[in-house]
Amino acid sequence: MADLKSKQIKFPLTGTSIVSSSAQIATDISGSLSAAAIVGLGANIVSGSIDGTLSSSAQIATDISGSFTSGFEFTGKISGSQASTGSFGRVDAADGFYHSNDTANETYINFPTGDKIDIVAGGVNFIHAWQRDSDFNKLIFNQDNTDTDIIFRSANGSNNKLLYLDASADNIGIKEGVPSASLHIAGNLWISGSSGHVTASGDISASGDVTADNLYTSQYIYHTDDSNTYLNFTADRLRFQIGGISYIDLNDASAAPHDITFNDGGNNVDFTIKGTSNNPLFKTDAST
């Protein structure tokens, strides 16, 4: 049939008076259904399926009333204009929901096998959620290891970077959009609690002050960019090394007497004690 008109269909359609086989629909019906022919049809369809694409004029959208009380399955496509709207209590999809204007089918919400959801845009898997079992779940950003930075923004200012994960550099920035270290913090770091501590096997550097109740070192405290100027701590012993010369050596030996040594190493180092007027009260001349 090229066209079905209202005078060719008896209303109301009830029970077995409708075509319920998707194969029969595909074989027996061709062309289009006019709006007048299907007014009230929705109220009488109990269940069924349609293979192919159901399309019609915009008038049908306003003329059809009623509901599909037991569900209605489409194995093809349902399409509408950008202004089209719909109201559903529940929508089921076996594969996923795809952006109709993306002809490459690269932007979608997909349901892989198992309890998983993928959120993909432009072919990039941005979010992968997996309810693996009752005790172990996974939420993965950048599932396919692409060069995708992850940004968390705060409420303070536009384009701020509360947390910035730089995928290409493998660095994390806190309030820093170009992190130059594994963890780059543009601000203060506060650690509290009875067990709060920072442990590092490499260097820790700061451009400002470092304040602590206690500062522990296993052996050395160096002057920045001056490798031969440092304090050397060993068991019950402290040596002051300046410019490669051991000026003072405080040694609490295992038994008395304990000793203080100046110029340990026999360098040409004079020893001077001054008074209030900057005059030498006591002085030794190492060279003589």
pTM above 0.75, yes or no: no
Please check whether residue 201 lies inside any domain of the structure: no
Instruction: Evaluate whether 184 touches 172 at the Cβ level (below 8 Å).
Output: yes
Pairing of strands 32-33, 3-4: parallel
- How many CB atoms lie under 10 A from the CB of residue 37? 19
> Which of 42, 69, 92 is the last residue before a domain boundary?
92
Please check whether residue 137 lies inside any domain of the structure: no
Q: What is the domain count for the chain? A: 2
pLDDT in tens, the chain (288 residues): 444 443 344 444 444 444 444 444 444 444 444 444 444 444 444 444 444 444 444 434 444 445 555 566 666 666 667 777 777 778 888 888 999 888 898 999 999 988 999 999 999 999 999 998 878 899 999 999 999 999 999 999 888 999 999 999 999 999 999 999 999 998 888 888 777 777 888 888 777 888 888 888 899 999 989 999 999 999 999 999 999 999 999 999 778 888 999 999 999 999 999 998 888 899 999 998
Please check whether residue 194 lies inside any domain of the structure: no
> Which of 74, 92, 110 is the last residue before a domain boundary?
92
Find the domain containing 19 and state its range: 1-92
Q: Which two tokens stand for residue 5?
A: 């008109």
- How many CB atoms lie under 10 A from the CB of residue 227? 10
